[in-house]
A and B are shown apart, each in its own frame.
Chain A
């Protein structure tokens, strides 16, 4: 509870620093996504009120850009590159394997809230194709067979 209070205080600070700035919505949404991990209904209402814009506007921007998530993401965000080089090198089968091992669809989050699986555009590491990232950590030259081991490593954490 207190943690949430703290986060909203942080968001308030962010809103204050952008007040009366044209185009403030985008940086505030980005900041909010960083603070909360997603921009939920409560967060969006808070932003709308704080910036003096309508909830329609906030929600419109948040649903237009793929970078914003409306619902909380898992503790570990797995992003599999489907850019041209990775795709040619078989990243789709890596993604399928992840979906099978985690038992969630692409874009989904495991019921325990630990993993979210996403497909992304080019991550800029084509030399390592096919590539995926888990919370900023890069895994290159992947094969579907490597997937269970990597997931097990994260499952074993704490």
Chain B
């Protein structure tokens, strides 16, 4: 039992376990202390001084790093504190490029919000040193604009400590301090895995996705192009947030209607591709197990994870499933099977994927992911970009009726839907592998052992009398820990699922951005995953091999999982990558 201590915050008495910070204690007392650099569990460094409080000490203390002590009396809102915080904001603004009207984070900017809440009247009160930084937009996924950076170091912490990548950090000192890659290298020259966790944790507009909406608008306006769109599972679990729906609301039907109104010729579903992926991946797993192939087999859906493996764990490349990711599989099928059935020249088809992910933009540009000189997927936009397109088109999203995906690649099972949450691919694969191996019908399709947001999960599943041990990791930092233990021979698994982002795709770098204050109170990974597991439960079909459109696809075109044609179109290969490129 932890020792409890008692303190008073703004006259409210509160009891907290010893070791609690004043910021956390205040939250429990219902007292809101403003923060800027603080990111729960990730960046707790007391750098910005926004959260200063009066604890009776000689100077004001940063509440996020101040341990609460027994009998402490804390004031969070005196005139002196308010003046101090306002002054910090004014100083921050003195070096900030205040182009709020055109800023991608306008109305969802933590700095802007603080300035309004704390009554900053004159953004130009102080004139600071304005360093003019060149915007780094070389990466296909991530854009860095240091003119907007407030040096909070949230991106640095998440990149180094959560993702175990660490390609950006503070350089120089004083007014010249900037968050950059070393030696003036661009992000694209570093071992950046394009996960975009820096973006979703940035309080301001210093980091954002490479916008590809212009390209999509141009495709839609081109009468010679047949434009097909497909959204990933996790998109439907978060898109609603951009239109005021509570977190965890599934907006699948409205999303489909919005896509049709935007003018897409076909609206297919990446969930279909997820079911297809399971057919190939479960087959690959069964083959590896029965033919003494390389184990553990590791999933290959997450492009952030794939680049991480190629850079940091090249000795595991043979362990990666050769399956392309679901939207790449769908893209490949659209440009071959669908093109043929619909009688459309594949070179006239454009495939647009909507992904919760910035790394998918990099993935789509991999030269090996295509066929006959055509890329499987032409453009990838994120959930945020889709929301911007819907707003730009003047579509009243909340008033839309529910629509249905187009047939041929629009059907999906519950197994495909749960791909968007950590453990989902594993669970989907187990549902199919179990029935393939045993030939028996699975009584309970839910594998709760592999659900939940813990960074690393392990389970042993009984399939046909033998134990199959599996593991699931989300966040590449956790992937490192897991793989290090496998490499050292401490752990032994048959199958591993790895997703680059903590919690899986629902918390991807392309998802709606949630402020650090909200994240103190709720776990967005849990809330958004609920939407997916809810959809799964509501589905009549919950196993990928029951997807009737997938069955037709195999009957008419692919023959069987792992066939020659399947290998040609649905599988890929990987390459070792250097840490830095010139």
Contacts and interface: CB of A to CB of B under 8 A. Distances in A.
Nearest to A65: B173
B183 A60 contact: no
State the main secondary structure of chain A at its contact with B.
helix
A56 B167 contact: yes
B173 A59 contact: no
B171 interface: yes
B169 A57 contact: yes
Q: Chain B: interface secondary structure?
A: loop
B181 interface: yes
Interface string B159-187: 01000011111111100000001110000
B159 to A, nearest CB: 8
Contacts of A55: 182-183, 579-580
B160 A64 contact: no
A54 B171 contact: no
Nearest to B170: A60
A45 B156 CA distance: 19
Most chain B beta-carbon contacts within 10 A, residue among A54, A56, A57: A56
Contacts of B160: 54, 56-57
Interface residues of A, number: 12
A58 interface: yes
Interface in A98-149: none
A54 B183 contact: no
Contacts of B182: 44, 55-56, 58-60
A44 B182 CA distance: 10
B169 A56 contact: yes
Given A41-B183, A44-B182, A56 B172 contact: no
A59 B171 contact: yes
Interface string B132-174: 0000000000000000000000001000100001111111110
B171 A63 contact: yes
Contacts of A41: 183
B181 A63 contact: no
Contacts of B173: 63-64
A60 B168 CA distance: 9
Contact of A57 (B166, B183, B579): B166
Interface in A26-65: 41, 44-45, 54-60, 63-64
A83 B579 CA distance: 43
A54 B166 contact: yes
Nearest to A70: B183
Given A56-B181, A56-B182, A64 B168 contact: no
Interface residues of B, number: 16
B456 to A, nearest CB: 21
B45 to A, nearest CB: 14
Nearest to A41: B183
B177 to A, nearest CB: 9
Contacts of B171: 59-60, 63-64
A33 B165 CA distance: 26
A58 B166 CA distance: 11
B578 to A, nearest CB: 11
Contacts of A58: 182
A56 B168 contact: yes
A41 B582 CA distance: 12
B172 A63 contact: yes
Contacts of B166: 54, 56-57
A59 B167 contact: no
Contacts of A63: 171-173
A81 B565 CA distance: 75
Nearest to A66: B173
Interface string A70-96: 000000000000000000000000000
Contacts of B172: 63-64
A100 B297 CA distance: 67
A66 to B, nearest CB: 8
Residue among A41, A58, A63 with the most chain B CB within 10 A?
A: A63
Contacts of B183: 41, 44, 55, 59
Nearest to B169: A56
Nearest to B156: A56
A56 B165 CA distance: 10
A58 B579 CA distance: 15
Contacts of B156: 56
Contacts of A54: 160, 165-167, 169
Nearest to A60: B169
A57 B183 CA distance: 12
Interface in B531-582: 579-580
B452 to A, nearest CB: 30
B307 to A, nearest CB: 16
Nearest to B185: A55
Contacts of A64: 170-173
A7 to B, nearest CB: 20
A54 B580 CA distance: 12
Nearest to B177: A64
23 contacts: A41-B183, A44-B182, A44-B183, A45-B580, A54-B167, A55-B183, A55-B579, A56-B156, A56-B167, A56-B168, A56-B169, A56-B181, A59-B169, A59-B182, A59-B183, A60-B169, A60-B171, A60-B182, A63-B171, A63-B172, A63-B173, A64-B172, A64-B173
Q: 4 closest pairs, A vs B, by CB?
A: A59-B182, A56-B169, A54-B166, A60-B169
Given A60-B170, A64-B172, 17 more contacts: A41-B183, A44-B183, A45-B580, A54-B167, A55-B579, A56-B156, A56-B169, A57-B160, A57-B166, A58-B182, A59-B182, A60-B182, A63-B171, A63-B172, A63-B173, A64-B170, A64-B173
